[in-house]
Amino acid sequence: MPDFSHLHVHTQFSLLDGAADISKLYKKAAADGMKALAITDHGNMFGVFKFVAEAGKHNIKPIVGCEFYVVDDRHKKQFTKEKKDKRYHQLMLAKNPEGYKNLVKLCSLGYMEGLYSKWPRIDKELILKHHKGLIATTCCLGASVPQAILRGSEEEAETEFKWWLDLFGEDYYIEMQRHDIPEQNTVNLVLAKFAKKYNVKVICSNDSHYVDQQDSNAHDILLCVNTGDMQSTPIATDEEGGKGYRFGFPNDQFYFKTQAEMGKLFNDIPESLDNTNEIVDKVEVLKLKRDILLPNFVIPDEFKIHSDSTPDFDTLNQWEYLKHLTYTGAKERYVDITTEVQERIDFELFTIRTMGFAGYFLIVADFIKHGRNIGVFIGPGRGSAAGSVVAYCTGITNIDPMKYNLLFERFLNPDRKSMPDIDTDFDDAGRQKVIDYVVEKYGKNQVAQIITYGSMAARTSIQDVGRVLDMPLSEVNAIKKLVPDTLGITLKDAIEQVPELKEILKGNDLKAQVLREAEKLEGSVRNTGVHAAGIIIAPYDLTDIVPVAVAKDSDLLVTQYDGRVIEDAGVIKMDFLGLKTLTILKDALRLIKQNHGVIIDIDYIPLDDVKTFELYQRGDTNGTFQFESDGMQMYLRDLKPDKFEDLIAMNALYRPGPIEYIPNFISRKHGREPITFDLADMEEYLGETYGITVYQEQVMLLSQKTCRLQQRRRRRFA
């Protein structure tokens, strides 16, 4: 069997032009004994981080690349029917970290400067600037050299060929493909002449768009989803085109072929197989996972320690400034800083310094302070960040952790190093004002939103395939309704659970075909979007760190890596959430002042107001965040809350799992059920919730108490 590696591979991230799942590609490559595998999606690097991470599971060398769209002038975007935008395909692979950086740069600039319609385009001017560390090939039939050959101008093709060869030298390869297409035979004959004349090595490839040959029809359906055509519409050829025809591949040969299949296909040019391994050997394994790069927060000069002898004095400066802000805020928040408060502050500051997160706190405190200064309505804080006294003293939150026995360890823990996660809520209109401030402070190319990938879920895939195969809508909907309404359910699971679906799959009619092809296409990336809240802030130009794109509905850049991996790629993610609830509150306070002359500070309203509790006791909570559902209103009427702690507990209990304890909580509050504790020592922390464990803090405090008791026992018996 020949030793061969695929270097021209499209995954599901070649949006609606690739039907290959990354994990399935690796499994097939591993089963075939392939030692390396490349990813070369059209114009983007969406799948690269996942691709590299997956490689380690299969002991296969990942090669990062992209099949770019190259034009004469990336800035030109005005075209006519007579003179259309001419785009050539161009394969480039990252040979080393420098090559990866240039790949990222080219891929980003394709969107930032060259986007036309849906195509991110680059030109030779950019390639000249960012070609180092890259390997290039003559690519496929859509590339510049093959296109010149097909136009009948071997001289033009040779001139184009020499341009690439002069630029890339030994890192430029002739790429031959054989998909049983006559035009490829014509091109390959000329390429073979160039190879001999200029002593350029030949590699072979298969323009892979799906995993197995039997997936060809599913991929064709995917192309129809992309173009909005029916599969019954004839595919255009060079001689045919225009109205009444659609785009499609000429045959079923664009699959991920085995080494044996490639060996048979190129048995007359065995060196073309061997030369793929020359490229594999040239390529260094890239480590894309890296530590977080925090933005540069500039602190006032009076807090800077200018000393070359002090290691990492920038970080120390930030911590000293955070310490100053914390104690300044503590004097306002607590007035009298007790020993307990000081010990808590010192403990948190020590942890923050040890973990290197002082800069993070300063950044968040800064944009929240700015937001409040310009009148943006900002939430008091929620989640684990509410357990930080430092966050409270610096104005990040408005909840006193000491008062509510909230634990800092739930937010930051040195034994489990992970980035702080502070979700910040803004009123709808104010959110953008704060983002604008962040962009102005850190730079437009250093701030971005986070991409999301819209994939074809179980029902969506049935709907898409049904439309393309021209199935009546009523029949499509009938099949969709058979899929259980369970979050995240796959078609495979649905077929196992629903006898009617299993029966449909046994047939040979249109329904069976729709279901089979939908199962193959399920999970395909259908489109991209923008994360509703996530904002990235980088210490320098984002295109030097991660690939970025642009979005129609955003003025900001958008990362090409999604929220699940973006922090592993080295940039920090912060959630800027716009809440309609805060807008309503802001407007209500404005109208109260306008109509009644009364100024209310929402952060200092009384939490023991009788009339307010009467509303909750009646369940009159429509429009109250997290208290307006029918189920919650029913429980409130039973509970009859008369203290703020009751509302806190209900909010925590009303979610899957703990919700089953709500009847016990209510009965114990009203004395209809005895309050019991598994151990007497548990009463200290479970007393306020009537012996029911409601909060994560209670679990942590009980664990700490258990450890202390065990230590005492050991000392007693020592």
pLDDT at 678: 82
Pair of tokens at residue 160? 């184009």
Residue 589 lies in a domain: no
Q: Is 441 helix (H, G, I), strand (E, B) or coil?
A: helix
CATH number at residue 206: 3.20.20.140
Q: Which residues pair with 6 in a beta bridge?
A: 37
240-257: pLDDT as tens digits: 456 778 888 999 999 999
pLDDT at 306 over 90: no
pLDDT at 182: 93
pLDDT at 309: 47
Strands 423-427 and 202-205: unpaired
Same domain, 512 and 422: no
Higher pLDDT, 493 or 313: 493
Residue found by looking up tokens 């309050």 in the block: 675
Radius of gyration of the chain (CA): 31
Q: Cα separations (Å) of 619 from 628, 641, 670?
A: 8, 10, 18
pTM value is 0.87
Same domain, 632 and 519: no
Same domain, 51 and 180: yes
Residue 219 lies in a domain: no
Same domain, 52 and 95: yes
Strands 525-537 and 447-455: antiparallel
The alpha-helical segments, DSSP class H, found in 231-338 are 259-265, 270-282, 313-333
Provide, rounded to the nearest whole percent, the portion of the chain with pLDDT above 90: 71
| Arithmetic mean of pLDDT over the chain | 91
Residue 590 lies in a domain: no
Task: List, in sequence order, every beta strand (DSSP E) within 490-648.
Answer: 525-537, 548-549, 557-562, 572-579
pLDDT at 717: 65
Same domain, 653 and 555: no
Nearest to 136 by CA among 272, 279, 6: 279
Average the pLDDT over each of 143-147, 547-551, 696-700 and give the range with the smallest value: 696-700
Same domain, 545 and 664: no
Q: Is 533 helix (H, G, I), strand (E, B) or coil?
A: strand
Which structural domain range is residue 552 located in? 301-452+529-564+572-580
CATH number at residue 508: 1.10.10.1600
Same domain, 53 and 86: yes
Residue 596 lies in a domain: no
Residue 178 lies in a domain: yes
pLDDT at 310: 47
CATH number at residue 413: 3.30.1900.20
Same domain, 402 and 546: yes
pLDDT at 269 over 60: yes
Same domain, 199 and 312: no
Pair of tokens at residue 105? 């740069």
pLDDT at 700: 78
Residue 306 lies in a domain: yes
659-705: pLDDT as tens digits: 999 999 999 999 999 998 887 878 887 888 888 888 777 787 787 77
Higher pLDDT, 161 or 656: 161
Confidence of residue 237 (pLDDT cuts 50, 70, 90): low
pLDDT at 214: 95
B/e letters for 108-132, b = 16+ CB within 10 Å, e = fewer, are bbbbbebbbeeebbbbbebbeebbe
3-state secondary structure 138-197: CCCCCEHHHHHHHCCCHHHHHHHHHHHHHHHHHHEEEEEECCCCHHHHHHHHHHHHHHHH
Same domain, 408 and 463: no
Among 62-76, 497-511, 553-567, top mean pLDDT goes to: 62-76
Same domain, 58 and 151: yes
71 CB-contact burial (10 Å; exposed 0-12 / middle 13-18 / buried 19+): buried
Same domain, 348 and 267: no
pLDDT at 532: 85
Round to whole Å and give the CA distance between 674 and 690.
9
Residue 126 lies in a domain: yes
511-522: pLDDT as tens digits: 999 999 999 999
658-669: pLDDT as tens digits: 899 999 999 999
Cβ neighbours of residue 646 closer than 8 Å, sequence gap 6 or more? 639, 669
Residue 331 lies in a domain: yes
Q: How many domains does the chain have?
A: 4
